[in-house]
Structure 1
């Protein structure tokens, strides 16, 4: 399993290197608050990584808020149960 993961990782690293090498032209970026030049390949990889991180963060927040809501409901259910007569 670890070998397969390493091979897939190596494949993506190689694809990133090829993407960067084939898109080495500098492009001007103007973001209203900053102006800079960056190679097209680096900009594409940066956008990919930023999208991946923001998507992961969104998924994590969605799952964690659902779990938090379920925990709160479970605690509320336990607290509202009436104790049995002994």
Structure 2
């Protein structure tokens, strides 16, 4: 199984290298505050990386953080339920 992952990674790396070589001409990017001239393949890779990072951040904030708060709240409630009841003065 491990050899299959290695072959797949090498295949994707080869396809990426060929794609980069075939799309080597420069593209001008204007980000309002600064301008950049990048090769097409580098611009695509940068856009892919930025999308991956923004998507991960949105997923973290929208799904993971609420689930962590819910888990923390449920752990506190469970700990409160497991505590022995305090004796009141009327029971002593």
CA contact (8 A) 1:26 1:40 kept: yes
Superposition RMSD on alpha carbons, in Å? 2.4
CA–CA separation in structure 1 for the residues paired with 2:83 and 2:41 = 64
Q: What is the TM-score of this pair, normalised by structure 1?
A: 0.75
Q: Look at both structures and tell me which one has the larger radius of gyration over its CA atoms.
A: 2
Q: What is the TM-score of this pair, normalised by structure 2?
A: 0.71
Paired position in structure 2 for 1:53: 53
Runs of 4+ in 1 over 3 A off after TM superposition: 56-61
Q: CA deviation at 1:55?
A: 2.6
Which ranges of structure 2 fall in alignment gaps of 5 or more residues? 86-92
- Aligned pair count reads 85
Which ranges of structure 1 fall in alignment gaps of 5 or more residues? none
Structure with bigger RCO (C-alpha 8 Å, 6+ apart): 1
